[in-house]
Structure 1
Amino acid sequence: MPHDPGPTGRDDDQMDWVPAPDEIRRIGLAKALREVTAPHHRRAEKSGVISDVVRGRATRAGYALLLRNFHAVYGAIERGLERHKASPAVRLIALPEMYRAGAIGRDIATLYGGAEAAQAVPLLPEGEHYAEVVAEAAEGDGVGLIGHAYTRYLGDMSGGQTVSRVLADTLGLDADARNLYDFASLGALEPFKIRYREALDRAAFETDRPDAILTAAMRAFDLNIALFWAVQNAVGGASAPADDPAPVGSA
């Protein structure tokens, strides 16, 4: 059984510090998010199945199960963003061209041998819980969704690009199983990420609760960590998707 340091990979008495709203606006929400979540980010990179992926030790079963759970999470994020797309703060980062649920659906259909087979795989409790937390963030003014979107989308556009290359090299996954990381429709990613961070900074001035965005982002990282360990533990006794299917992209 893989080592599991706990659901979030940290001591229960470890406290998170969040700057006051005026301080967040002064330094910029994007910078505040990066600084406040940095310890969480480092823990996430060393956790469970994602650690296996970046070290080239992942299995198709592990990666497919991760995507199966991510599909529910991204679906919850994107439904929430659409629900609040008239919000002065949320609308700044609710960009349909970034949405990933459809891309993940195509990936898991490829990995599991069809959409119906993929949907037949139960979600892990950690994946269900993550999606439920996102749905809760969509209640009220929905500003917490900004923290959840930041955690996943900027991660996919940054470290996710390395993950995509590793998956191609180590698991032989073709492009039809790596749609999650394909942002070709956005053009060059670095200029887009700069504009996205600028949008985050503006969003802090459109809500009286920018601190809630930081809190949501930190919680999102902890939920990811719990899911990463759960997937790794589950795959220890799991069969490969679609009963050990032929390599992705084969006839």
Structure 2
Amino acid sequence: MTDDVDTVAEGGLDTEWGAIPGADEIRRIGLSNALREVTAPLHRRAERAGVISDIVRGRSSRSAYALLLRNLHLVYAEIERGLERHRASPAVRLIVLPEVYRADAIARDLETLYGSAEAADAVPVLPEGTAYAEAVRASAEGDGVRLIGHAYTRYLGDLSGGQTVSQVLAKTLGLDAGARNLYRFAGIDGLDAFKQRYRDAIDRAAFETDRPDAILAEGMRAFRFNIALFWAVQDAVGGASEPSGEPAPPPV
């Protein structure tokens, strides 16, 4: 994505999903609060989308979950590569917290689910997964602040609702801990305290960039890419949910 995907409106950005607050308002209410508010409708849609809806309702399959992880692995790898690239950036450095990184954890899950790392690598990535990863890579261009929108969407999701997903996977698919590393944060003592620390870091980042509104726009895009991927995985392997007419993600 380039910056001209969003047009500047008075007091903030005007996106295809509606107007979002300007920089001063974002800093006043807190960037993490602003992200939660502007992405709330998309968040609800994501929870009801494709394979995620099937998983939460206990109606998914091992193959569907494995395919979801195969696609998300590329996404996390791009997020973490971008964060490391910008670890000296005044804004991005605040959320460069390796203890929350998930790419290596997902790689271990994939090895368990597919039988070997080689077998996992041989599974084709869906076009929606490729588009999502490419969007993350594009967000790392320039000063990299748009990466914060992607980090917020994925990491806080894993630390929050992901814990419930992990329990459901154990109960309904019989997945042991070796296939649920994505949701295990062994290096973090107290998930609630860490989540607050992470939100505080995001709030501080808004004061280190003149484009916190661009972070909000990227967070919205991240949810749209997730929704598209969730439906694509379900379509690829078959699932219980009915299509909801979700629109395709915006162009990269």
Q: Quick check: TM above 0.5?
A: yes
Is the contact made by 1:124 and 1:230 (CA closer than 8 Å) also made in structure 2?
yes
Which residue, out of 67, 70, 76, partners 1:68? 70
- Alpha-carbon RMSD across the aligned residues, in angstroms, is 1.2
Q: What is residue 102 of structure 1 aligned with on the other side?
A: 104
Tell me whether 1:149 sits opposite 2:144 in the alignment: no
Paired with 1:40 and 1:169, the residues of 2 have a C-alpha distance of 27
Tell me whether 1:165 sits opposite 2:167 in the alignment: yes
Q: What's the offset of the Cα at 1:16?
A: 2.5
Which residue, out of 113, 116, 132, partners 1:114? 116
Name the TM-score, length of structure 2 as normaliser: 0.88
CA displacement 1:176-215 (0-9 Å, x = unmatched): 0000000121110001111111111100000000001101
Q: What is residue 60 of structure 2 aligned with on the other side?
A: 58
CA displacement 1:137-188 (0-9 Å, x = unmatched): 0000100100000000000000000000000000000000000000121110
Paired with 1:217 and 1:176, the residues of 2 have a C-alpha distance of 30
Q: What is residue 29 of structure 2 aligned with on the other side?
A: 27
Paired with 1:55 and 1:14, the residues of 2 have a C-alpha distance of 31
Q: What's the offset of the Cα at 1:236?
A: 2.3
Name the TM-score, length of structure 1 as normaliser: 0.88
Is the contact made by 1:17 and 1:36 (CA closer than 8 Å) also made in structure 2?
no
Identity of aligned residues (%): 74
Tell me whether 1:205 sits opposite 2:214 in the alignment: no
What is the 5 A alignment of 1:2-41? Answer: 15-41=17-43
Please list every run of 5 or more consecutive structure 1 residues that lacks an aligned counterpart in the other structure.
1-12, 238-251
Q: What is residue 188 of structure 1 aligned with on the other side?
A: 190
Paired with 2:122 and 2:18, the residues of 1 have a C-alpha distance of 38
> Quick one: which amino acid aligns to residue 189 of structure 1?
L
Q: What's the offset of the Cα at 1:94?
A: 1.2
Paired with 1:202 and 1:14, the residues of 2 have a C-alpha distance of 27
> Quick one: which amino acid aligns to residue 134 of structure 1?
V
Which residue, out of 209, 213, 217, partners 1:215? 217
